[in-house]
Chains A and B, each alone.
Chain A
């Protein structure tokens, strides 16, 4: 046991003082009464004066001595050693991501983590400091280096769960940044271990040891992990993926509705670990469709998903080619493209097309618009050098989003123009011999392909239509992307030409005004549901939608991680300065004193 204020023991002088007061005799005023025999023969000495008298036993004296002794005991602030090992500066990282909303521990994983952190705050000694960091899609400090228990408790209680992922890398970088040089620190991560993979290696080690405290017990959960709407030739259909991540078979009801009303209700049964894909009808009038299950599981965020069902705005695209079925088919896969195909001789410069694809043809003047130039003829402005044989094909940057889901492993190209001297833009696909595909952002997003498609097996690969899709989406981004986004993911919104106002209405009804002049990024996507974008163009209001869903198998899996691979610490030993946390017991002792005071009051009134 430790005493935080040992000097307060001097207050024990009050005990002999109380006894001394009982030794003293009271000087009492004389009162004449009509009949003394009616008055009970009871005397209480409560007022000191001379001369001395013999000390008599009194329950009041006993209780008063007890009260004084207990108050002195509370004043010295005794504290018991706690189980937690605390450094002078404790850094607490609390995972407040989506998976921490699971209710496998009551009332939720986040609340359980907050309870444990609250107990740790109570154990802080008078010289200790604590920093609280909420680990969400963006880490943030909620309580900075404070020793004030109340302030830390307030900061802790203010942490609200988010629907996004937990970015531990950012949180650790943040924590590393706040540790002063030479300061002994220790970090605790309260989490279920469902975190984004570490982006930074922290090869030099963290400036503090970090300990993982697991929160959560069960991974029983049924989730909706995907919902997409596909337009066929005649109708549209939605494809929904339902996954039972738990160890128990589950039966539940699936409710399928559009913004116009309920469409279907069906029962679904899934074995443990089973996933099922369902095809669901989409009415023509529907703008959005929603699937909801009542699985009575531990996690609600993946029980409801939404998709935008409305067909996006169409683009006019021109393909100028002497004949290229591969390009034509790849472009026609875009349902929002209205494709015109013409021979090079028929080409006239026009501004009515949003994008033009030139195949083995170069006009005299390139259009001021997005275009794709494939194998420009020799002598044209974009043409490269002499043909060269091509060996292995690879991506310039494997993480380039334009190559998402595009595999170049089995792609072979016989020959290509030598584009090494081209100043067109950066290389997207390259080889040892020459860059093969180049892209540029200015003045418009444009693509230059240095080889004839027919000299390659690329169009025979599944990656080709995907590549064309990626490139065309990059060049002609929809005003409002109709796909589903993850929570906290940034959405790019391209205002329509002449749009006076652009407003985003969030699922909770709150509105955000965006700038109209340029491409806007919207990052307030923390809520799950449908976001509506309203644009005022020529006095008319144009509405479009995008959805935010959890759609994360990692999160929905929900199984808490027992052991977490955390970066090592570059601090070797902190045993000298680390100490056990303290559990202060003086409030309980003070409470006991209050009870004794009440007892003394009762004893006095009952004339004991």
Chain B
């Protein structure tokens, strides 16, 4: 199995952190600079100093030995519980590049940013129903395990967002990121509403393939739904193509409006975007990473 994310990309991701707008209460310590005040005597990890860090945490002994600033991190009481919900339904297993593959990489990248900051990451994949990705991951060393886990889930089946309500509401307050194409027989709204009720500071990342945004074909076809297998005859004309694009835009707008209504961040991504471009540009613009 090929590496989910390339090492150079991982190194660049270490400079980022998941941004939260309000104080979160985690089960364990982390490095939420803007939130934590307390300290734990339990040593956790070293990290390079970046401007803005509390200089009181600088390990001066290390500075004497290495001639560079290194922060000495302790297990604190604050940590960020980050939950990743990744859509691996049949509609995601489509497009060039494949949306499911890109969603796995994107989830891996966000998870790595959080793990590098000692945040706790919980992974859930969903299609017709949610499937847990195992116990929460914590620390940079857990990244490879998470990567392997996320790659082990196959894509397929219909999407039922209503079945996400239950696992979401069980979340402790924190950060939740949903990666989905927003396509499916059931509406996305109940899941978004559940995030709000669960006091999740979250983000909805809609991932679409370029081929479903700009149609590349015309003429007659028998359309087959990637999730349900239902078929229907269709003739692609300029008029029907315009009708499709209008329906897709309406669906996207509904998701964005629902996210906005419940205080969630929203970003629309296409699967032909490089992962680094998504992370460094789009997700920073919407304030998910910083």
Query: Could you list which residues of chain A lie within 8 angstroms of chain B, going by C-beta atoms?
Result: 26, 28-47, 604-607
29 contacts between A and B (CB under 8 A): A26-B233, A30-B231, A31-B217, A32-B223, A33-B223, A33-B226, A34-B209, A34-B226, A35-B183, A35-B227, A35-B251, A36-B228, A36-B230, A37-B185, A38-B183, A38-B247, A39-B232, A39-B244, A41-B232, A42-B235, A42-B237, A42-B239, A43-B234, A46-B220, A47-B220, A605-B237, A605-B239, A607-B237, A607-B240
Q: Known contacts A29-B222, A32-B224, A46-B235: does B184 contact A40 (CB below 8 Å)?
A: no
Interface status of B248 (Cβ within 8 A of chain A): yes
**Judging by beta carbons under 8 Å apart, are A30 and B220 in contact?**
no
**Judging by beta carbons under 8 Å apart, are B244 and A38 in contact?**
yes
Complex alpha-carbon distance, A607 and B242, angstroms: 10
Q: How far is the CB of A290 from chain B (nearest CB, A)?
A: 70
Interface status of B253 (Cβ within 8 A of chain A): no
Q: How far is the CB of A281 from chain B (nearest CB, A)?
A: 82
**Judging by beta carbons under 8 Å apart, are B226 and A40 in contact?**
no
Q: Known contacts A605-B237, A607-B237: does B220 contact A40 (CB below 8 Å)?
A: no
* Residue of A28, A32, A36 touching B220 (CB-CB under 8 A): A28
Chain A residues near B181 (CB, 8 Å)?
A: 34
Q: Name B174-204 residues within 8 Å CB distance of A.
A: 181, 183-185
Interface status of B206 (Cβ within 8 A of chain A): no
Q: How far is the CB of B94 from chain A (nearest CB, A)?
A: 5
Query: Could you list which residues of chain B lie within 8 angstroms of chain A, going by C-beta atoms?
Result: 90-92, 94-95, 181, 183-185, 209, 212, 217, 220-228, 230-235, 237-240, 243-244, 247-248, 251
**Judging by beta carbons under 8 Å apart, are B251 and A43 in contact?**
no
**Judging by beta carbons under 8 Å apart, are A44 and B220 in contact?**
yes
Known: A30-B231, A31-B223, A34-B92. 14 other contacts (CB 8 A): A26-B233, A28-B233, A30-B222, A30-B224, A32-B224, A33-B225, A33-B226, A34-B94, A34-B95, A34-B212, A36-B225, A36-B228, A37-B247, A44-B235
Complex alpha-carbon distance, A37 and B254, angstroms: 15
Q: How far is the CB of B66 from chain A (nearest CB, A)?
A: 51
**Judging by beta carbons under 8 Å apart, are B225 and A28 in contact?**
no
**Judging by beta carbons under 8 Å apart, are A29 and B183 in contact?**
no
Chain A residues near B92 (CB, 8 Å)?
A: 34
Complex alpha-carbon distance, A33 and B234, angstroms: 12
Chain A residues near B185 (CB, 8 Å)?
A: 37
Q: Specify the main secondary structure of chain B where it touches its partner.
A: mixed
Q: Known contacts A38-B251, A43-B233: does B221 contact A607 (CB below 8 Å)?
A: no
Nearest A residue (CB) for B185: A37
Q: How far is the CB of B180 from chain A (nearest CB, A)?
A: 11
**Judging by beta carbons under 8 Å apart, are A36 and B233 in contact?**
no
Q: How far is the CB of B214 from chain A (nearest CB, A)?
A: 14
Chain A residues near B222 (CB, 8 Å)?
A: 28-31
Chain A residues near B233 (CB, 8 Å)?
A: 26, 28, 43
Chain B residues near A41 (CB, 8 Å)?
A: 232
* Residue of B232, B237, B240, B243 touching A36 (CB-CB under 8 A): B232
Q: How far is the CB of B157 from chain A (nearest CB, A)?
A: 13
Nearest A residue (CB) for B94: A34
Complex alpha-carbon distance, A34 and B229, angstroms: 10
**Judging by beta carbons under 8 Å apart, are A30 and B221 in contact?**
yes
**Judging by beta carbons under 8 Å apart, are B238 and A39 in contact?**
no
**Judging by beta carbons under 8 Å apart, are B238 and A40 in contact?**
no
Complex alpha-carbon distance, A46 and B234, angstroms: 11
**Judging by beta carbons under 8 Å apart, are B183 and A34 in contact?**
yes
* Residue of A35, A604, A607 touching B91 (CB-CB under 8 A): A35
Q: How far is the CB of B273 from chain A (nearest CB, A)?
A: 18
**Judging by beta carbons under 8 Å apart, are B94 and A606 in contact?**
no
Chain B residues near A43 (CB, 8 Å)?
A: 233-235
Chain A residues near B230 (CB, 8 Å)?
A: 36
Complex alpha-carbon distance, A31 and B224, angstroms: 6
Complex alpha-carbon distance, A41 and B240, angstroms: 9
Complex alpha-carbon distance, A123 and B16, angstroms: 87
Complex alpha-carbon distance, A607 and B181, angstroms: 28
Complex alpha-carbon distance, A31 and B91, angstroms: 13
**Judging by beta carbons under 8 Å apart, are B184 and A42 in contact?**
no
**Judging by beta carbons under 8 Å apart, are A40 and B225 in contact?**
no
**Judging by beta carbons under 8 Å apart, are A605 and B223 in contact?**
no
Complex alpha-carbon distance, A131 and B280, angstroms: 85
Chain B residues near A33 (CB, 8 Å)?
A: 94, 212, 223-226
Complex alpha-carbon distance, A36 and B184, angstroms: 9
**Judging by beta carbons under 8 Å apart, are B240 and A40 in contact?**
yes
Interface core residue of A26, A29, A34, A606 (most chain B CB under 10 Å): A34
Interface core residue of B183, B224, B235, B248 (most chain A CB under 10 Å): B235
Chain B residues near A39 (CB, 8 Å)?
A: 223, 232, 234, 240, 244, 247
